[in-house]
Amino acid sequence: MSEELKDEVEALNSIYGEGTLVPASDNDGNDAEAADAYILKIPGEGETSSLRLQFPAGYPDDPPSVLGTHSSGGQNRPRGAAARDLELFRDALGRVFQPGIVCLFDALEELTRLTEELGINDAQPPEAEDDGAEEGTSTASRKVSAPEDALGPEPPWIMSDVYVEMKSTFVARCAHVTSAAQAESYVAHLLATDKKVRAATHNMTAWRIRGADGKTSFQDCDDDGETAAGGRLLHLMQLMDLWDVMVVVTRWYGGQKLGPRRFAVINQVARDSFVKAGLVPEASGKKKGPGK
Kindly list the structural domains of the chain, giving each domain's residue range(s) and its CATH number in brackets, ordered by start: 3-117 (3.10.110.10), 140-276 (3.30.230.30)
Which ranges of the chain have pLDDT less than 70?
A: 14, 26-35, 45-46, 120-150, 281-292
Can you tell me the distance from the alpha carbon of 110 to that of 105, in angstroms, rounded to the nearest whole number? 9
Angle 27-32-35 from CA coordinates, rounded to 5°:
65
pLDDT of res. 286: 44
Which has the closest alpha carbon to 203: 190, 212, 215, 216? 190
pLDDT of res. 148: 55
Contacts of 222 (CB under 8 A, 6+ apart): 140, 204, 205, 206, 230
pLDDT of res. 283: 45
Does the pTM exceed 0.75?
no
pLDDT of res. 35: 60
Sign of the C-alpha dihedral computed for residues 5, 13, 226 and 195 taken in this order: positive
pLDDT digits (tens, 9 = 90+) for 44-67: 766 788 999 999 999 999 999 999
pLDDT of res. 102: 85
Q: How many CA atoms lie within 13 A of 77 on its CB side?
A: 21
pLDDT of res. 282: 53
pLDDT digits (tens, 9 = 90+) for 234-282: 988 988 889 999 999 999 998 888 887 888 899 999 999 999 999 975 5
